[in-house]
Structures are given as C-alpha cells and as structure tokens.
C-alpha cells in the first residue's frame, strides 16, 4: 500500500504479476471501528497457512483463525473505492464474482493477537485423518 497524491493504492503481486489493485481516496471521510466492523469482521482473521518442507514439498496447508484483542484505533477513514482483479494462474481470485462495490476503508491500529485455531488441515484430510 502506498499514498499516491490524494489516493491510497494497494496492490497484490505474485510471481511479479499484479493481480489485484485497489484505490481509495486518502482520508476522505472519518470512520470508526464500529463502521469498519459493520462491513467486515475485523476482530477475527481467517488465514491460509502454507509452509514448505526443505525439499519444497508442502509441510503445512491449513485454514486458521485468530482474534485481534485490545484494539486501539489510531485512525480510520472510509470512501468510495475501486478494485481491479486480473486473471492469474496461481491465484484464481478473478473467478469470484464482484456483485457490488461498497465503501473502502483505510485504518491504522495497535492490537494484540491471541492464540489461533486450526479450522481445516488439508494434509490430514488428504491422508485420511480427521
């Protein structure tokens, strides 16, 4: 993420190819933690955890979750945003339909992370373990 003039521009790149670009006016409209949480669950994060073995095979492939606690919002702003999703062979995000553009949010906060939970372990399931 970076500020470019009056815009915040975020890009996500894999293998040198940018597959997602989003823009949001810089500090357009002040917002609160409650405003942000009305759009997305900021407290509970959902993650795809992938770790390789030394030989580059997959050692861990899990969906995990952990919570943010003691959130102290330093600043939060909302505004009309744009998102462009480009096709990428390794990141098939482009296959998800964009139904409607809502507000975008830019926020800064201090928080603590508490211990997480493994929701799904792909490798155990592949080996027939629960």
CATH of residue 119's domain is 2.40.400.10
DSSP H or E run through 56: none
pLDDT, residue 30, reads 94
41's CB contacts (< 8 A; 6+ apart) are: none
Rounded average pLDDT per 10-residue block, the chain, 130 residues: 93 94 91 88 85 91 91 91 92 86 88 90 74
Domain count of the fold of the chain: 1
pLDDT, residue 39, reads 84
pLDDT, residue 7, reads 93
Is the model's pTM score more than 0.85? no
Within 10 A of 63 (CB to CB), how many other CB atoms are there?
Answer: 14
pLDDT, residue 121, reads 92
pLDDT, residue 129, reads 63
94: exposed, middle or buried (C-beta count within 10 Å: 0-12, 13-18, 19+)? middle
pLDDT, residue 128, reads 66
Q: Which domain, by its residues, includes 94?
A: 2-126
Residue with tokens 């096709």: 87
Tokens of 121: 């372990």
């Amino acid at each position: 993420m970076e500020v470019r003039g009056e815009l915040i521009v975020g890009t996500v790149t894999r293998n040198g190819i940018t597959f997602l670009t989003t823009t949001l006016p810089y500090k357009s409209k002040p917002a609160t933690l409650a405003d942000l949480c009305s759009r997305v669950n900021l407290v509970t994060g959902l993650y795809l955890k992938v770790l390789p073995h030394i030989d580059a095979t997959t050692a861990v492939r899990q969906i995990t979750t952990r919570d943010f606690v003691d959130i102290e919002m330093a600043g939060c702003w909302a505004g009309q945003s744009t998102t462009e999703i480009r096709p990428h062979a390794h990141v098939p995000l482009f296959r998800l339909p964009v139904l409607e553009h809502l507000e975008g949010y830019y926020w800064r906060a201090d928080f603590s992370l508490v211990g997480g939970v493994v929701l799904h372990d792909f490798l155990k399931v592949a080996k027939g373990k629960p």
